[in-house]
């Protein structure tokens, strides 16, 4: 099955050896994103809710660049938190971005994420 690398200026980019997203058929695999502003390439200011919103905006941008409808096409998300005490606040911001039927999800606590970020997510979307 042919794959296609997804590239957009509406999500953070860097020189690390990975793609922002990759399509395989009707499926889009979105790389992990922390709360980084795609224009300044800096971590955004704000609490974990603001960070969650920025992460989901980046995921939506990659799905849209692949030809999808942003978060509406997301079927699976993995959430990485540096502190599970943030779980409820992340859920508030997450729920606002997925007001209908939310995708399947995994949430895990990790010891560390790049920089000073508190949340990172990756996703799978279906464009069918």
Active site residues per annotation = 107
Strand partners, 125: 28, 74
75 close to 124: Cβ distance less than 8 angstroms? yes
DSSP letters for 62-92: HHHHTTS-GGGGEEEEEEEES-GGGHHHHHH
């Amino acid at each position: 099955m042919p794959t296609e690398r997804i590239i957009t200026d509406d999500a953070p980019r860097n020189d690390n050896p990975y793609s922002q997203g990759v399509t395989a058929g009707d499926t889009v695999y979105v790389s992990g994103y922390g709360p980084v502003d795609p224009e300044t390439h800096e971590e955004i200011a704000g609490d974990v809710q603001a960070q969650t919103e920025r992460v989901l905006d980046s995921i939506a941008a990659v799905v849209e660049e692949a030809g999808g409808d942003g978060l509406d096409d997301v079927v699976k998300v993995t959430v990485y938190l540096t502190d599970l005490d943030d779980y409820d606040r992340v859920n508030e911001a997450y729920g606002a971005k997925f007001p209908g039927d939310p995708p399947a999800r995994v949430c895990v606590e990790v010891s560390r994420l790049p920089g000073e970020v508190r949340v990172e997510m990756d996703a799978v979307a279906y464009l069918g």
